[in-house]
Amino acid sequence: MNSYERGFPVSDENPAIPATNGIASAEATSHPPAETGLSIATLKPRMAFKGKVTRVELGGVFVDIGVGVDGFLHISQIVSDKPVLRVADVFQVGDDVQVYVLRVNPKRKRIDLTMHKPSAYDWSNLEIGAKLSGVRVVSVESFGVFVDFDGPKHGLIPFNLMPKGVRPKVGDQIDDVWVVEVDESKRRIGLTMVEPPELPWEKIKKGNRYTGKVTRVERNAAYVDIGAEREGLVRVSSLGVGYNDMHAFVTEGEEVNVRVLKVDPNKRQIDLALDGLKADEYALSSGPDEQLSPFAAALQRAQRIKRAQMATAAEDRPAKKANPQNELLERTLQQMQAQKKDN
């Protein structure tokens, strides 16, 4: 009586799968590998092969997959349209069979095979932020829904990570979800139906530099989209100059370079600074090169904006009393132009 008739020794790598060591395993056929460029040392779990049955045992069959050592397909890993009571009823020597590598131990020259097609995802290739398509709802709980996405276990979509008013039912298919949590130790996979931002909170650090677009400008601050969940805020106080109107420095829709001053994921706040600005560059003189200083350029830009705003307003209502700030800008530019002529 060989080892397969006495019962299977349990694998030390997975107690659910019988090991292939013992008398029968020692008798496994060794032969030159096929011209595939693969060997037992290069095999990885989940690899697919079309093999040929070389020997039939009570507990399974040995399969040549072309790597120089036969793999073992245990009876529990055989896929058939009816229960498998005798391996010989399913396979004969010389039969072709589609198999997948379950596990491999090069030192022991042991290859465990399965006919069950591996899931599209396992713990090793699930990444936070990954997009999964065509998932199916398998159960609905009070806190969310579980979905099958062909992974190591079902993923959970909490209700608070679904679009407002959306409540899927069992059997529904959801087009796209994104991975937000992968915890193999807790056997937990978290998903969301709300597309995450390009820049997650955990990647935003103090000192990071980004190029963003100005989405809104107020007197004391400007809002900049850097690809995060929330817009970042550039406060006029961060410029380090006496001028106190952000309109003079940025305009809505403009692309700017910014640097992160502070980030608070709990409060969903990002404080930014316009990158490359230096307080000592904002002088009222244009310098010996006869080019406008950044401050003068900002004044001119602010003046153009104000003039455009005033022209638009004048078409709809009678002109109002001149704004003291506009008069100050005008006088400042006139003084600068006069200084340039004197020099």
Q: Which of 49-53, 146-150, 233-237, 326-330 has the lowest mean pLDDT?
A: 326-330
CA distance 117 to 125: 16
- Averaged pLDDT, 77-94: 92
pLDDT, residue 124, reads: 83
CA distance 300 to 277: 17
Question: pTM of this prediction?
Answer: 0.50
201-279: CATH architecture: Beta Barrel (2.40)
Per-residue pLDDT tens over the stretch 102-115: 999 999 999 999 99
Can you tell me whether residue 15 is helix, strand or coil?
coil
Per-residue pLDDT tens over the stretch 194-244: 988 878 888 899 999 999 999 999 988 999 999 988 899 999 888 765 556
The β-bridge partners of 273 are 259
pLDDT, residue 122, reads: 85
Identical fold, 3-114 and 201-279? yes
- Residue among 206, 190, 203 at smallest CA distance from 149: 190
* pLDDT confidence bin for 311, thresholds 50/70/90: very low
Here the tokens at position 271 are: 């404080």
131-192: CATH architecture: Beta Barrel (2.40)
CA distance 329 to 277: 21
Higher pLDDT pick, 4 / 42 = 42
Asked: is 3-114 a CATH 3.30.710.10 domain? The reply is: no
Neighbours of 46 (CB within 10 A): 15
**Where are the domains positioned within the chain?**
3-114, 131-192, 201-279, 284-342
Check pLDDT > 60 for residue 316. Answer: no
At position 229, the amino acid (one-letter code) is: E
- Residue among 298, 302, 273 at smallest CA distance from 283: 298
Per-residue pLDDT tens over the stretch 245-293: 788 788 899 999 999 999 998 888 999 998 876 544 444 434 444 455 5
CA distance 3 to 9: 8
Cα 187-193-199 angle, rounded to 5 deg: 90
CA atoms in the 13 A half-sphere facing the CB of 66:
15
